Amino acid sequence: MPARPSRPPAAATRSKKPQVPPPDLDDPRLYVNRELGLLSFQWRVLEEAYDGTNPLLERVKFLAIVGSNLSEFFMVRVASLNAQLDAGIAEFGPDRMSPSAQLVAIRREIKRLMEASHHCLESELKPALAEEGIHIVPYGELTAKQLQVCKRYFAEIIFPVLTPLAFDPGRPFPHISNLSLNLAVLIRDASGAERFARVKVPDSLPALVPLTRTQKPTSKRARTRRQESFVWIEEVIAANLDALFPGMQIVEAHPFRVTRDADIAIKELEAEDLLETIEEGVRQRKFGSVVRLQVNQHMPQHILQILMTNLEVESGAVYRSKGLLGMTRLFSLSQIDRPDLKYKPFLPTSPVELKPTTDEEDLFSLIRKRDVLLHHPFQSFQPVVDFLRKAARDPDVLAIKVVLYRVGRNSPVVEALLEAIEEGKQVAVLMELKARFDEESNIEWARTLEKAGCHVVYGLLGLKIHCKAAMVLRREGDAIRPYLHVATGNYNVVTAHLYTDIGLFTCNPQLAADVIDLFNFLTGYSAKRDYQKLLVAPVNLRERFEGLMSARSSSMRRAARGIWCSR
C-alpha cells in the first residue's frame, strides 16, 4: 500500500492558494434567458423525433409535441413580450435582454427549429413510414383510383361542412380563429374581376384523408405487408374548390394558419368576481391579437399582404414554411392502428402496501399501518381514486377537502366528490381557475360541484395554487382522524399515466396538522407561518430552503475538514 501523502505546511498551502474573485451575480452572462431556455427544451424534444431507437410512430408523436409546444409558446410567451412592447414597458430579467431583443432572438431560434422539424419529417420520418407501408401522398401524385376516392370523400364528407366566406366591400374580412388552418382563395368572376375568399379547413374532420381501406392484419407477417395511404385534407379541399365557387375561375389557393394571444390578463385587484373575470377572459381568448401567421413558401406577396393587413400582422410575425403548416396535426398520424410501431403498452403496478391481506383490512387501516409512497406512472393512480370513492361511501367519513388544479374532462375524482355530497359528506374544494388552457374545464366542474352543494373556493388573490392535497376526516371512536394524500401531480387520471410524479398516503399527526392549517389558509383567513413539516410558498418555503442549503453546506465543509484531518 503506498504511503499516505503528508499534509503540506499551512504557510505553503496559503501561498499556493489561488485568489479567485467572487463572481459578480449581476453579470448577465451568467444567466440564460427564460424564453430561449424554453426553446432549448424544444430541441431536446426534437431529438427524440430524430432518435431511430424510438418506435416510428412515437417519433412522429414527438414531432407533433414540438409543434404543440411552439403554439403554446407563441400564445403565452411571445404574446406577453408583444404586450410589453405595446404598453411601452421593458421588464429586464437577470440576463438584461429587452423585450425587442428577445423577440429577435426568438424568431431566429424558431426558424431554426422549424427547418429542423421539417427536415426530420421529410428526410427521416416519411421515408421510414413508407418502408412500413404508411404513405402520405401529395395530391398531385395520386393515381386515378385514389383521385376517385378523394372526390367521393370530398362530396360525401367534406363538402357539406365547408362554409366559404367572401371578402369584399359588402362583407368584412372574416374572423380567423386561433390555431385554425385556412385556405386563402383568389377567384375570378365572369367579368374578369378578382375576389378574395377564405375557406376554413374543418377541425371536426380527420386531418388525413384515407386513400386505402385495408383489413386489420391477423398476424405480424401480414402486418408487414399492410399498405396505407393518406392525403392531407387541405389538399383535397384546394383541389375541389370549384364545387364551392361554381361559375368562378379558381386562380390560386394557399393554406395559412394563425396563432393568437391566449394569455389571459387578470386584473385581480379590480375583479369583483374572479369566476366571471376568468370566464370573460376565456371568451376573449378567441379574439386575441395574432402573434404568428404561418404561410407556405409559395404564397405570393399580394395575397400575403391581404392577410397581413386585415389580421394586423407585421412582417416579424410571418413565418414561411416549406412543408406542413402546424406540426401538431401529426398527432392524427401517430394514432394509426399500428401497435408494432409504438411503445409496448405499459401497465402500472398496484402497491403491495395497499392490498388487504384479510377481510378486516381496508384502505384506511392500511394507511394507518404505514405511510405509502406512490410513484406514477410506474405505479397505478387508481388507489387515489379508490381513496376518494372509499371516503365517499364510508359512513364514518365526515368531510373531504381537496385542492384541484387540472382534473380533465371526464374526471372520476370529481365524480367521487359528487358522490360524497350525495352521501351527506361535507365537501370543500379549492378549484384553481387560473390553470392555463384548462380554465374552461375547471369552470364547468366548479359550477357542477357548487350546484351539488360543495363549498367551492376559486383561488387566492395574486396567487396560483399549485399544491395537490386531499384530506379525509374520519370518525374513529371518540376521535377524528385525518387521512391525507399529498402529491406533486394533478388529480387527473389521464396525465397520471404520462407524467412522472409522486404521491403520499399518510395519517402522520404532524403532517395532518399542517394540512389542516394549510386548508384554513386556502379557504379562510390564516396568517400561520410555523408549519411543522410542510414548506409552503409564499409563506416559508424560500426561508426554509435557504436554511436547509446553508445547513447542508456547513455539514459538507465539516465533512471535508474531517476527511483532510484523517489523513
The confidence band for 557, taking pLDDT boundaries of 50, 70 and 90, is: low
Other Cβ atoms closer than 10 A to 55: 15
Last residue of a domain, one of 341, 375, 402: 341
508-534: average pLDDT: 88
Residues 517 and 545 in one domain: no
pLDDT higher than 90, residue 530: no
Q: Which pLDDT score, from 0 to 100, does residue 556 have? A: 67
Last residue of a domain, one of 308, 341, 374: 341
pLDDT higher than 90, residue 107: yes
Q: Which pLDDT score, from 0 to 100, does residue 66 have? A: 97
Residues 409 and 553 in one domain: no
Backbone angles phi, psi at 255, to 5 degrees: -75, 150
143-167: average pLDDT: 94
More confident residue, 170 or 366: 366
pLDDT higher than 70, residue 5: no
**Among candidate residues 154, 172, 174, the one with its CA nearest the CA of residue 235:** 154
Backbone angles phi, psi at 89, to 5 degrees: -105, 135
Q: Which pLDDT score, from 0 to 100, does residue 232 have? A: 96
Asked if residue 216 lies in contact with residue 240, where contact means CB atoms within 8 angstroms, the answer is: no
Active site (catalytic) residues: 466
User: Nearest 5°: CA angle at 97, between 94 and 101?
Assistant: 165
pLDDT higher than 60, residue 243: yes
Q: Which pLDDT score, from 0 to 100, does residue 83 have? A: 86
SS (H, E, C) 356-377: CCCCCCCHHHHHHHCCEEEEEC
Q: What is the pLDDT of residues 259-311, one digit of tens each?
A: 998 875 544 444 445 555 555 555 555 557 899 999 999 999 999 999 999 99
Asked if residue 402 lies in contact with residue 470, where contact means CB atoms within 8 angstroms, the answer is: yes
Residues 286 and 417 in one domain: no
Q: What is the pLDDT of residues 83-96, one digit of tens each?
A: 888 888 777 888 88
State the Cα–Cα distance between residues 124 and 130, nearest whole angstrom: 11
Asked if residue 139 lies in contact with residue 234, where contact means CB atoms within 8 angstroms, the answer is: no
Residues 231 and 252 in one domain: yes
The x, y and z cell numbers of residue 501, run together, are: 410524479
**Average pLDDT taken over every residue of the chain:** 87
Residue 276 domain-assigned?
A: yes
Q: Which pLDDT score, from 0 to 100, does residue 463 have? A: 79
Residue 405 domain-assigned?
A: yes
Cα Rg of the chain (Å, integer): 30
Q: Which pLDDT score, from 0 to 100, does residue 417 have? A: 96
Q: Which pLDDT score, from 0 to 100, does residue 359 have? A: 83
Domains of the chain: total: 3
Last residue of a domain, one of 313, 341, 369: 341
Residues spanned by the domain of 547:
539-567
State the Cα–Cα distance between residues 461 and 197, nearest whole angstrom: 46
Which ranges in 394-432 belong to alpha helices (H)? 412-422
pLDDT higher than 90, residue 402: yes
Respond yes or no on whether the N-terminal peptide bond of residue 482 is cis (omega within 30° of 0).
no
The confidence band for 114, taking pLDDT boundaries of 50, 70 and 90, is: very high
Residues 312 and 385 in one domain: no
Work out the percent of the chain whose per-residue pLDDT is above 70. 87
The confidence band for 441, taking pLDDT boundaries of 50, 70 and 90, is: confident
Residues 116 and 202 in one domain: yes
pLDDT higher than 50, residue 238: yes
CATH number, domain of 195, equals 3.30.1840.10
Residue 565 domain-assigned?
A: yes
